[in-house]
Chains A and B, each alone.
Chain A
Amino acid sequence: MRQRSLLILTAVLTTGALSLTACGSRDDKGGDAAAGGGTTVVIGVDAPLTGDLSALGLGIKNSVDLAAKQANEKKYVDGVTFKIEALDDQAQPSSGQQNATKLVANKNVLGVVGPLNSSVAESMQKVFDDAKLVQVSPANTNPALTQGQDWNDGTKKRPYASYFRTSTTDAIQGPFAAQYLFNDAKKKKVFVVDDKKTYGAGLAATFKAEFVKLGGKVAGEDHVNPDTKDFSAVVTKIKNSGADVVYYGGEYPAAGPLSKQIKASGAKIPLIGGDGIYSAEFIKLSGKEGVGDLATSVGAPVETLPSAKEFVENYEKAKYKEAFEAYGGYSYDSAWSIIEAVKKVVDDNGGKLPSDARTKVLDAMKGVSFDGVTGKVSFDEFGDATNKQLTVYRYEGNAWKPVKSGTYTG
């Protein structure tokens, strides 16, 4: 019997140990902008650079790197050379917080772009706010990050003054998808699935509320564990529910296989999700069966905006190994807003960085306004982007094609 208790004890211990070690962080020093005299300002980047979501994360890192290089090339801020320091959060809140602490400790860091995941952002906000270090996320869409936990009851309260974002929020994205499905695609019965994470659950809730308000029916609901790949039980429920569309609140590593398994079960209904599934990886994972699936994403299609043409050209010229993906334009704009703020601080201080540069940069962020890759970039009193453009994409052929773009109006 002694053996058995040892067996059970070790099983429990190792389960714990394995799940802990799985969250270890891996540093990635990116950006090799040549330091050419003067002051060096570091823009931190935090994103998942490895793991399932690395396609999106590497796009963010490369785009920030591009912004830093462009600023250096143009000598945009006199006497200041920009460098990036990219850290990998593996989409884990615990790693994100460690990275935040690391970035705060580096005195040359005057702004941070990232993270990708809303749940990671929650763990970082306070660390940055305590250090008065500006954080601009290109991808977080959870409304609570800027408007407080009670945003849905109409009492908006900004929790952290150092947090900004260039993307729009789920409070807009979910309802936008609902309106498109109900009014344009004429879908009346939806099955709502989410992954219980901050982003996925928030998105699914705002979508469902609007869809029901419009008169649509919810045929069923389920929550999945995004770490597993077997959705057969959920898929069978979806098929038998008679829904004509599935809404998935979550990201492509689970959405791709889910879509594929839905189609394979014989239910020929499209899956629609938010910007977390708007990725070339979704197309790879869902395969040919996924054709007809839909995704909403923040902003107008980056490739079609005139202001974005230059970004796409420069990105191709820089020959990054990975595509800029869904958040490339937003990451570039996030980095550029920090660069603008640094420029203002330096200009106001007679061409030099003041000693309290972080606080000054934070103040300057409120007044930032410029024409970026994704349109006009500026922030409202909550730190949210003032640009509230959204686009619905459909998976056609072997790529996402924009079908409808617009601004959400209540």
Chain B
Amino acid sequence: MNELPQQLVNGLLLGSMYGLVAIGYTMVYGIVQLINFAHGEIFMTGGFGALTVWLILPGGTTLWLALPLMIIGAIIVAVTIAVGAERFAYRPLRGGPRLAPLITAIGISLALQQAVWAWYPGATSSLTFPEIPGGPFHFGSVTIQTGDIFLLTAAPLSMAILGYFVMKTRTGRGMQATAQDPDTAKLMGINTDRIIVVAFALGAAFAAIGAVAYGLKYGEVNFRMGFILGLKAFTAAVLGGIGNIYGAMIGGLALGLAETLATAFIADIPGMQQLGGQSWADVWAFVLLILVLLFRPQGLLGERVADRA
């Protein structure tokens, strides 16, 4: 069991990434009850946005200097695409049958994947992403990569900023009101269309930060990276209680830990060798999801919490 601390760190890192992406699913669902399946691809375009900034910057720029610019580039690209999708694809369908925007989201997801594949130079295979030099750092038996430091800082910081925004600012309170009852919110003078755009933009921004973290952690970006990760993040959002922003992060962490610990330890249980290992990790993660939904259908943190947004 001496590998437990390291595996816990591995799980937390993976979970933070899921959490960052899950925020986008949960915010959009909370306000317009739409599962935005294009969100995984918005995450992916964020990664390519960051890479583009890095490639445009003159060679020899240190990554520490470039990183803020890359994050801004990633956010600009992801937010533009998300807001564009909202304005031109989802808004005309608002008020229509629930399935119409959902299918549209799947269409946008495929279109974005193929567009990056076809038009981003070299994107038909994985592209190398710059890595933070130095490290790794050792804390007792735990090793942390330099690339992970970004994720470890960005995830809690993002949550804190988001929490503050939703609870304290005028727009944030507007979001809560819209989530609780869009019609009444409108009567109270809240511009719900603007609130919805803000929800899409915020979700995309956090996905973009997640994408930069992904690139730094794995040293590559590719046009398919948002597909599996998007599904996992959606799972995390449901696990934590879709519509609840803290639930998204908690769900992400729970999912990441479940996958990692299942990979690490299930095979050591006598008689379970066949069901262990990384290829079974997804199965165990979804077993966890099913169990949670059986006993707490509203997810870990539930939907009816006051700060739903």
- Say yes or no: is B288 at the interface (Cβ < 8 Å to chain A): no
Q: Which residues of A lie under 8 Å from residue B238 when comparing CB positions?
A: 7, 11
A228 — which chain B residues lie within 8 A by C-beta? Answer: 228, 278
B143 interfacial contact with A, CB 8 Å: yes
Q: Which A residues touch B264, using CB under 8 A?
A: 233, 236-237
Interfacial residues of chain A within 1-29, with CB under 8 A of chain B in the complex? 3-4, 6-8, 10-11, 14-15, 17-18, 21-22
**Contact A257 B99, beta carbon cutoff 8 Å:** no
Taking a contact as CB atoms under 8 Å apart, the answer to whether A50 and B124 are in contact is yes
Task: Please report the C-alpha to C-alpha distance between residue A102 and residue B131 in the assembled complex, in whole angstroms.
Answer: 44
Cβ-defined contact, B260 with A264, below 8 A: no
Q: Are B263 and A234 in contact (CB under 8 A)?
A: yes
The answer to whether B126 and A253 touch across the interface, beta carbons within 8 angstroms, is yes
Q: Chain B interface residue count: which class?
A: 35 or more
User: Does A265 contact B234, Cβ atoms closer than 8 Å?
Assistant: no
- CB within 8 Å of A: which B255-309 residues: 259-261, 263-264, 267, 277-282, 293, 297
Nearest CB on B from A312, distance (A): 23
Q: Is the CB of B7 within 8 A of A225?
A: no
Q: Which of A227-278 contact B (CB under 8 A)?
A: 227-234, 236-237, 239-240, 253, 257, 260, 264-266
Classify chain A: how many residues form its interface, as a range.
35 or more
Residues of A within 8 A of B (CB): 3-4, 6-8, 10-11, 14-15, 17-18, 21-22, 50-52, 54-55, 195-196, 221-225, 227-234, 236-237, 239-240, 253, 257, 260, 264-266, 281, 284-285, 287
In the complex, the answer to whether A266 meets B278 with C-beta atoms within 8 Å is no
Decide: A50 near B117, CB < 8 A? Known: A233-B7, A237-B3, A284-B128: yes
Q: A14-B106, A236-B6 are in contact. Are A55 and B125 (CB under 8 A)?
A: yes
**Chain B residue with minimal CB distance to A260?**
B219
Top-8 shortest CB links A-B: A233-B263, A232-B10, A223-B279, A233-B260, A224-B278, A222-B277, A223-B277, A240-B3
Q: B156 at interface (Cβ–Cβ under 8 A)? A: no
In this assembly, does B98 line the interface, its C-beta being within 8 Å of a C-beta of chain A? yes
Q: Residue on A with the closest CB to B242?
A: A7
Task: Tell me if B231 counts as interface (CB < 8 A to partner A).
Answer: yes
B227:A22 contact, CB within 8 angstroms: yes
Is B14's beta carbon under 8 Å from chain A?
A: yes
When C-beta atoms are compared, the residue in chain A nearest to B298 turns out to be A4
CA distance A281 to B264 in the complex (A): 29
**What's the minimum C-beta distance from A51 to chain B, rounded to whole angstroms?**
8
Interface flags, B214-227, vs A, CB<8A=1, else 0: 00001110101101
Please give me the residue from chain A that is nearest to B146 by CB atom: A264
Shortest A291–chain B CB gap in Å is: 15
Q: How far is A41 from B37 in the complex, measured between Cα atoms in Å?
A: 46
5 contacts between A and B (CB under 8 A): A22-B227, A223-B278, A223-B279, A231-B278, A237-B3
Instruction: Please tell me if B110 contacts chain A, counting CB pairs below 8 Å.
Output: yes
Chain A CB within 10 A, most for which of B131, B261, B277: B277
Please report whether the interface of chain B is mostly helix, strand, loop or mixed according to DSSP.
helix
B207 within 8 A of A: no
Q: Smallest CB–CB gap between A202 and chain B, Å?
A: 16
The reply to whether the CB of B180 lies closer than 8 angstroms to some CB of chain A is no
Cα A52 to Cα B238 with chains together (Å): 30
Q: Which residues of B contact A195 (CB under 8 A)?
A: 279
Check B171 for interface membership: any CB of A closer than 8 A: no
Task: Beyond A14-B37, A265-B143, list 17 extra A-B contacts (CB 8 Å).
Answer: A7-B238, A8-B293, A11-B35, A14-B35, A51-B124, A55-B125, A196-B279, A223-B277, A225-B282, A229-B220, A232-B14, A233-B259, A233-B263, A236-B6, A239-B3, A264-B136, A287-B131
Contact of B13 with A by CB under 8 A: yes
CB neighbours of B224 from chain A (8 A) = 51-52
Q: Are B279 and A52 in contact, CB atoms less than 8 angstroms apart?
A: no
Known: A7-B242, A21-B110, A230-B14. A225 touches B220 (CB 8 A): no
Given A257-B220, A287-B219, A14 and B102 contact (CB-CB distance below 8 Å): yes
Q: Does B80 interact with chain A (Cβ within 8 Å)?
A: no
Closest to A50 in B: B124
A266 touches B136 (CB 8 A): yes
The answer to whether A11 and B3 have CB atoms under 8 Å apart is no
- The interface residues of chain A lying within 8 Å CB-to-CB of B2 are 240
Q: Does B109 contact A (CB under 8 A)?
A: yes
- With both chains docked as a complex, state the minimum distance between the C-beta of B262 and any C-beta of chain A, in angstroms: 8
A103 CA / B131 CA spacing, docked (Å) = 45
Q: Does residue B33 face the partner (Cβ distance < 8 Å to A)?
A: yes
Chain B's closest residue to A230 (CB) is B14
A227 pairs with B228, CB closer than 8 A = yes
Q: Is the CB of B37 within 8 A of A233?
A: no
How far does the Cβ of B160 sit from chain A's closest Cβ, in whole Å?
25
Q: Considering the chains assembled together, what is the distance between the CA atoms of A240 and B125 in angstroms?
A: 32
Check B125 against A281 for contact (C-beta < 8 Å): yes
What separation, in Å, do the CA atoms of A7 and B25 have in the docked complex?
Answer: 13
Asked whether A257 and B218 contact (CB < 8 A) given A52-B125, A222-B277, the answer is yes
Bound state CA distance, A233 and B280, in angstroms? 12
